[in-house]
């Protein structure tokens, strides 16, 4: 993604997707890892320089108040100790780049001058899909990581006649108390909203150790019969989620909760995924998610906001309260930034 002037930064600073990476009057230098600590969280972020041996994103997530010796993410398997890891870009057609392309090529990490944020930046020339992106993480008290993801597709023709792009993000979890992801949704057409325990059953011909749940308004994605990476494209017809968040219960009575600022629009949507490649040998599922762009358009900026919560589990209702509180904050911020009528 080309650099552009950030109107909120000091004169002469540079930004990528609106993120200033200037420090002390000089453009910040990329780093391999950086550790940020705020409130109850201590988080290690990693670049892509050692991928696929070590994945980019969050290398370690510790709640130093409630579980100081327990990493949220799988600490024992090289290449799988990662969270909020940008893992795939997938089209509707067979293509070698459908699998693991974000693991390859540069994904530079910068620690930002606010002291609470880090950003991963990828240029178009480092992606076989010619997709540039920035992935900003900001710690907030007491146990939040806020995410701001932006991307642009510079050669939409690469996505073929189906036109959509699936951006897939992985969370390789440490030991869990309960394998399913839990979300509010409906289990049949016209059903009443209720809590759903999505355990990704083997009910689809392209099932491969897991599956994906879509929003109530979303449609199934069509893909070519000879597609080389089907497992992350299909989705269950039901249940479907009604609010864009899920939580999972881990060991040490912790909860891993992730929420999004959008569920479905005509332009894009979020989907929720669960994969169980390590089960039953280890209780370490992948609690994942997808960002889907319905019709890739050249030069258009796409993206989403998310919040990750890592704290002691209280109840499903507490998770819903966290989501409503964050949503109210986003609406207040949007109103503050909107020009007066």
Q: What is the DSSP string of 207-236?
A: -SSEEEEEETT--PPP--TT-S-GGGT--E
Predicted pLDDT at 222: 98
Predicted pLDDT at 340: 58
Q: Where exactly are the structural domains of the chain?
A: 19-176+252-259+277-337
Q: Which CATH architecture has domain 19-176+252-259+277-337?
A: Distorted Sandwich (2.70)
Integer Cα distance of 37 and 31 in angstroms: 17
Predicted pLDDT at 81: 78
Tell me how many helices (H) and strands (E) the chain has: 1, 24
Residue 170 main-chain phi, psi, to 5 deg: -115, 145
Predicted pLDDT at 327: 97
Peptide bond into 199 cis (omega under 30): no
Integer Cα distance of 155 and 73 in angstroms: 35
Q: For the purposes of burial, counting CB atoms within 10 Å of the CB of 127, is it exposed (0-12), middle (13-18) or buried (19 or more)?
A: buried
How many CB atoms sit inside 10 A of residue 265's CB?
Answer: 11
Integer Cα distance of 21 and 174 in angstroms: 32
Integer Cα distance of 180 and 274 in angstroms: 8
- C-alpha to C-alpha distances, 263 to 53, 241, 305, 335, nearest whole angstrom: 33, 9, 11, 20
Integer Cα distance of 6 and 319 in angstroms: 34
User: Taken in order 55, 15, 307, 246, is the CA torsion positive or negative?
Assistant: negative
Predicted pLDDT at 63: 98
Peptide bond into 220 cis (omega under 30): no
How many CB atoms sit inside 10 A of residue 118's CB?
Answer: 24
Predicted pLDDT at 75: 87
Integer Cα distance of 250 and 181 in angstroms: 11
Integer Cα distance of 58 and 17 in angstroms: 20
Residue 156 main-chain phi, psi, to 5 deg: -60, -20
Place of tokens 């146990």: 143
pTM greater than 0.95: no
Token code pair at residue 200 = 């990704």
- Chunked into runs of 10 residues, the chain (341 residues) has average pLDDT values of 31 43 61 98 96 92 97 83 95 97 94 96 96 97 98 98 98 97 98 98 98 98 98 98 98 98 98 97 97 97 98 98 98 83 49
Q: For residue 131, which of 247, 257, 297, 251 has the smallest C-alpha distance? A: 297
Report helix, strand or coil for 333.
helix
44 forms beta bridges with 35, 60
């Amino acid at each position: 993604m080309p650099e552009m002037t950030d109107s909120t930064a000091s004169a002469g600073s540079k930004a990528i997707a609106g993120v200033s990476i200037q420090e002390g009057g000089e453009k910040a230098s990329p780093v391999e890892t950086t550790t940020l600590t705020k409130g109850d969280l201590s988080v290690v972020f990693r670049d892509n320089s050692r991928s696929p041996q070590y994945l980019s994103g969050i290398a370690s997530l510790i709640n130093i108040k409630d579980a100081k010796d327990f990493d949220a993410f799988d600490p024992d398997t090289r290449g799988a100790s990662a969270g909020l890891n940008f893992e795939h870009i997938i089209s509707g057609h067979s293509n070698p780049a459908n699998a693991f392309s974000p693991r390859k090529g540069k994904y530079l990490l910068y620690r930002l001058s606010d002291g609470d944020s880090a950003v991963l930046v990828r240029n178009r020339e480092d992606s076989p899909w010619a997709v540039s992106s920035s992935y900003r993480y900001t710690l907030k008290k007491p146990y939040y990581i806020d995410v701001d993801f932006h991307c642009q597709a510079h050669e939409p023709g690469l996505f073929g006649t189906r036109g959509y792009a699936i951006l897939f993000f992985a969370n390789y979890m440490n030991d869990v108390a309960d394998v399913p992801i839990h979300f509010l949704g409906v289990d049949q057409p016209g059903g009443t909203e209720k809590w759903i325990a999505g355990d990704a059953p083997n009910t689809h011909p392209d099932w491969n150790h897991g599956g994906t749940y879509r929003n109530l308004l979303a449609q199934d994605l069509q893909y070519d019969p000879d597609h080389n990476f089907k497992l992350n494209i299909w989705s269950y017809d039901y249940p479907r989620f009604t609010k864009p968040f899920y939580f999972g219960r881990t060991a040490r009575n912790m909860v891993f909760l992730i929420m999004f600022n959008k569920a479905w629009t005509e332009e894009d949507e979020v989907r929720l995924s669960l994969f169980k490649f390590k089960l039953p040998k280890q209780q370490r599922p992948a609690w994942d998610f997808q960002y889907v762009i319905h019709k890739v358009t050249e030069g258009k900026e796409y993206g989403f906001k998310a919040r990750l919560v890592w704290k002691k589990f209280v109840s499903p209702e507490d998770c819903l309260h966290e989501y409503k509180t964050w949503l109210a904050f986003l609406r207040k911020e949007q109103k503050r930034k909107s020009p007066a009528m």
